[in-house]
Structure 1
Amino acid sequence: MSFRQNLINARSHIIFLVALACGLGLVISLEKNMPAEPTPTRSTARPGQPAEFSAPVARPAAIASFDAVTPLPLAHTGASRPEDLSHARIAWTYFENNTDPVTGLVNSADQYPSTTMWETGSYFIAVISADLLGLIDSDAAQDRLGRALDTLATIRLFDDMLPNKAYHTGTAELVNYANQPVERGLGWSALDIARMVGAMAHAQNSYPALSPKVAAVMDHWDLDQMVDSGQLIGGNIGENGLRRDQEGRVGYGQYAAKAMMLFGYDMVHAYDAEAHLMVKDVDGQPIPVDDRLHRNVTPAFTVSEPYVFDGLEFGFDARSHRFATAIYQAQETRWRDTGQLTAVSESHLDEAPYFIYSTIWGGGAPWAVMTFQGDRLDSKRTVTVKTAFAWDALFGTDYTRELVTALSPLGDPDRGWPEGLYEADGSTNGSVTTNTNAVVLAALAFRANGPLGRVDQ
């Protein structure tokens, strides 16, 4: 075969690698040069086009609080433990049990046939990680991802623009949060879709043959509808129809921005943590908190979730490494001071209200446990399996090893990993979900190979 023909055959892979390099270059450039409140012209940037800026202004004092944080060294990769493979098999069992054979979509919770784009993104990460760990082979991984991509390229969209906030995994139809069919839909979550976009980038990088299927999804979705002036924009149904709202607070916003940058989108404001950063002291650690409200009602939540995803998938940048270190160290300090194992993040529950945010800071107080609506529910704080495995893979401290050792007996070979242990009484939070089992797989793959986005299969 000629060199020219080889280039033609590899064109999709080459295009992706160029886009990936440009996106990562933009992340690095922004990390070094991000002003506190950049004032761009109204962006008309499309993939591959840079944003335009006016003169930079001074960085805020809040970010200086993290100068004294020494980033924890990352755990050594390539040093898997003997028990890792059995832990990974338990996590993969969840996906074997919950993948629809027709649509290729995966239930958000065990035997509950509904999903979001966030959880579908988690599934993609789980498949790639399972392949890296040798639980499935590459052909099986591509078959699974290809089936899901075919569905994502043909699903009915909210207002023919973007994926609805929820879908039935068996029919791929738009549903509400009770998993009941809804004609128009609920709107879209820009954060969820950005996570899915990042997961497709990882899939394309790992399996270049899937590039045409990824392109078909990207063509089907009108991603320009959720990007405006470097911000992520969600779509919500209000009393007067569709309302477009900025999405993303410190932590989640930067993680989602990195995902969108991989396809060349202007994410300058979404990546800028400093403009809305305030710092709260929690057990002697400076904790990054967004000064905007959650749902425009409740003080914003700081949880582990976006930071562990950032480290496992993309690899920390200088800023997120410091933020993650402080967030982790606050949890270890709480354990040292109280004797209570602490590994908190957003969590599903096995009883009403079924979902909570166990925060480092949230709702105006440290260690608050908040519902999505903003009610406090500290009785449901959970020592989460996914957070324990993730911190252990990233930092590998004596404390993280103790966390994993304490939670390891919870693994169910027939169902997967549950959410964790309720702090109040030590009973099991028995909800078994896509996100927890995906993070366990991603964490174990990280220990073996490093960040997912930097692995060459």
Structure 2
Amino acid sequence: MSFRQNLINARSHIVFLVALGCGLTLVTYIESGLQEESVHVVEEVPDAIAAFEDVTPLPLAITGVSTPEDLEYAAIAWRYFQNNTNPDTGLVNSVDNYPSTTMWETGSYFVATTSAQRLGLIDEAEAVDRIGLALDTLIGMRRFDDLLPNKAYNVNTGELVDYANQAAERGLGWSALDIARLVGALGIVQNNYPVLAPQVADLLAQWDLEQMIEDGQLIGGNIREDNLRRDQEGRVGYEQYAAKAMMLFGYDMYRAYRAEDNLMVQDVEGLPIPVDTRMHRGVTPAFTVSEPYVFDGLEFGFDARSLRFSTAIYSAQEARYANTEILTAVSESHIDVAPYFIYSSVWGGGSPWSVMTFTGERMDSKRTISTKISFAWDALFGTDYTRELLAAIAPLGDPERGWPEGIYEIDGSTNTSVTVNTNAVVLASLSFRAHGPLLRVDR
């Protein structure tokens, strides 16, 4: 299929950019050639996509107000950022008191700050000062091979580091997904704080983003035996979320956005679950988690496809509770024991509800009722079930530290790890309830 036809086929999913006022160059290019063809944008509906035609999208639960309880929960989440922001660099620890960060987590900080300002926890001047300082640091930081941000940095010094937060002269390479997540957050920043747009432009001008895009796909850079290897990054869910972020700045992500090219459907609790046909890191069958779907809704606003996918993914978790009486809100998360990071899936590694480590090993005993996913589903859909999730999570909030990752399903004990990503999602969720997606500017 031709490049041009692929763009046409993706048209129905990128139209959301028009409403947001972003990515106008790409949309204009697509529209200019459609004319009479536009009545039949998609000539064939692949079988995997057709499986979602019977999924009735859930209505969004934007209320337009914040309750006193919402603001109390938000203040707890913001405490994390008050505790973990370095006053010199403006960067934020990825985990409580651990001075390392990635571009993904820096994006989470910008999302959290924008959300906190919308909720009235800080004023616009503080939001601009905080984000502006971090942007200055990012502009001045050394890049991997002078191309793109390294995979990890020391929060206190801005140095390139390895995953043990030890200085790494050359660095580890770059993560296209992490950078794309930050690029999306930069779009949110410049739309909410026009005064910061010149700094955003200066930063993006330093990054050779073309290095991480090839034939409409995301490409990561990985060091293997001192050699740089370029690998396609992203699986269904994460790939489309990252593609949307890059499209905000006019990058051509036609293949990354086409979920149907690498899509299979797995039945979980009677719901069709979108799963990537490709292997995860070349080791295990890919997995489906809630994370990229809730990010899409909270930050950009769903498109027709992602809303159907999200409805199915959420509904499977609600159905598991109905069938087993086990509260279920799963995604990737930190845990407070080795190996410290897991992927709690709706489907993954060949079966439903599997929990996997970074290397693909099963660790189902650490399935967590996720704090961030409980808040996110409640903000997005606001059902009786999401209110039960929040009732279970609410006692965990620590006014002195922030929100921990959640509750271990196996015994009800607390997953005590406290992270930037979870507290950012709590803030974004509470902001969404009152104001809608972050890329929508209320002025």
Deviation at 1:33, TM superposition (A): 7.4
Contact 2:62 2:432 in 1 (8 A): no
- Describe how 1:396-435 pairs up with structure 2 within 5 A: 396-435=382-421
2:248 maps to 1:262: yes
Determine whether 1:241 maps to 2:227: yes
1:61 matched residue in structure 2: 47
Deviation at 1:32, TM superposition (A): 2.0
Alpha-carbon distance in structure 1 between the residues aligned to 2:102 and 2:131: 16
Residue pair 2:289, 2:330 contacting (<8 A) in 1 also? yes
**1:91-240 paired onto structure 2 within 5 Å:** 91-239=77-225
Question: For 1:55-107, what per-residue CA distance to the aligned partner results, in whole angstroms no more than 9, with x for missing partners?
Answer: 98744211000000000111133133330000000000000000001110000
Query: Following the alignment from structure 1 to structure 2, what is the Cα–Cα distance between the partners of residues 28 and 191?
Result: 24
Which residue identity does 1:97 align to in structure 2? N
8 Å contact kept, 1:90–1:416: yes
Q: Deviation digits for residues 192-231 of structure 1, max 9, x if unmatched? A: 0000001011001111010111011101111110011111
How many angstroms apart in 2 are the aligned matches of 1:436 and 1:127?
14
- Paired with 1:247 and 1:266, the residues of 2 have a C-alpha distance of 15
Alpha-carbon offset, residue 48 of structure 1? 8.8
Quote the Cα distance in structure 1 between the aligned partners of 2:145 and 2:29. 29
Give 3-state SS (helix, strand or coil) of 1:332's partner: helix
Q: CA deviation at 1:239?
A: 3.4
Matches of 2:303 and 2:28, distance apart in 1:
22
1:439 maps to which residue? 425
| Contact 2:347–2:354 (8 Å) recurs in 1 | yes
Residue 429 of structure 1 aligns to a residue in which SS?
strand
- The structural deviation recorded for 1:296 is 1.0
Check the 8 A contact 1:117/1:192 in 2, yes or no.
yes
Give, in whole Å, the separation in 2 of the partners of 1:199 and 1:133.
18
- Alignment correspondent of 1:30: 10
Assess if the C-alpha contact under 8 Å between 1:48 and 1:263 holds in 2.
Answer: no
Secondary structure of 2:10's counterpart equals helix
* Partner of residue 38, structure 2: none
Once the two structures are TM-superposed, the CA of residue 292 in structure 1 deviates from its matched residue by 0.2
User: Which secondary structure state, in structure 2, belongs to the residue aligned with residue 454 of structure 1?
Assistant: coil
Q: How far does the alpha carbon of each residue in 1:285-330 deviate from its partner, in whole angstroms, 9 at most, with x for none?
A: 0000000010011100100000000000111000000000000000
Decide which of 72, 75, 79 is 1:86's aligned counterpart.
Answer: 72
Report whether the alignment pairs 1:380 with 2:366.
yes
Helix, strand or coil: the match of 1:344?
coil
SS where residue 66 of structure 1 aligns? coil
Alignment RMSD? 2.1
1:33/1:316 Cα in 2 relative to 1: closer, same or farther (>3 Å)? closer
Q: Distance in 2 between matches of 1:77 and 1:322?
A: 21
Q: Give the conservation status (yes or no) of the 8 Å contact 1:106–1:115.
A: yes
Count matched residues: 421
Tell me what 1:330 maps to.
316
1:284 maps to: 270
CA–CA distance in structure 2, aligned partners of residues 270 and 315 of structure 1: 18
Structure-2 separation of matches of 1:229 and 1:133: 40
Q: Residues 49 and 264 of structure 1 are in contact (CA less than 8 Å); yes or no, is this contact kept in structure 2? A: no
Task: Say if 2:368 and 2:406, in contact at 8 Å, map to a contact too.
Answer: yes
SS at match of 1:278: strand
* CA–CA distance in structure 2, aligned partners of residues 310 and 28 of structure 1: 22
CA gap of 1:326–1:56, structure 2 versus 1, over 3 A, is closer
Residues of 1 paired with 2:101 and 2:297: CA distance?
24
| 1:105-159 Cα distance to aligned partner (Å, 9 max, x none) | 0000000000000000000000000000000000000000000000111111011
Residue 449 of structure 1, aligned match among 416, 430, 435: 435
1:296 corresponding residue in structure 2: 282
Counterparts of 1:125 and 1:300 in 2: how far apart (Å)?
27
Structure 2 residue runs without a partner (length 5+): 1-5, 15-24, 34-40
Distance 1:411 1:198 in 2: 28
2:147 & 2:114 partners in 1: Cα distance?
Answer: 28
- Could you tell me which runs of 5 or more consecutive residues in structure 1 were left unpaired when the two chains were aligned: 1-25, 35-45
In structure 2, the partner of 1:20 is none
Q: What is aligned with 1:312? A: 298
Counterpart residue type for residue 351 of structure 1: V
The answer to whether residue 330 in structure 2 is matched with residue 344 in structure 1 is: yes
- CA–CA distance in 2 between the matches of 1:27 and 1:150? 36
Q: Quick one: distance in 2 between partners of 1:277 and 1:165?
A: 28
Closer, same or farther: CA 28–382 of 1 in aligned 2, 3 Å: farther
- The answer for the alignment partner of 1:9 in structure 2 is none
Alpha-carbon deviation of 1:262?
0.6
Q: Any conservation in 1 of the 2:372–2:426 contact (CA below 8 Å)?
A: yes
Q: Say whether 1:251 aligns with 2:231.
A: no
Q: Is the 8 A contact 2:7 2:254 kept in 1?
A: no
Contact 1:118 1:196 in 2 (8 A): yes
Distance 1:213 1:413 in 2: 33
In structure 1, how many angstroms separate the alpha carbons of the residues matched to 2:113 and 2:13?
Answer: 36
TM-score normalized with structure 1 length: 0.89
Q: Secondary structure at the match of 1:453?
A: coil
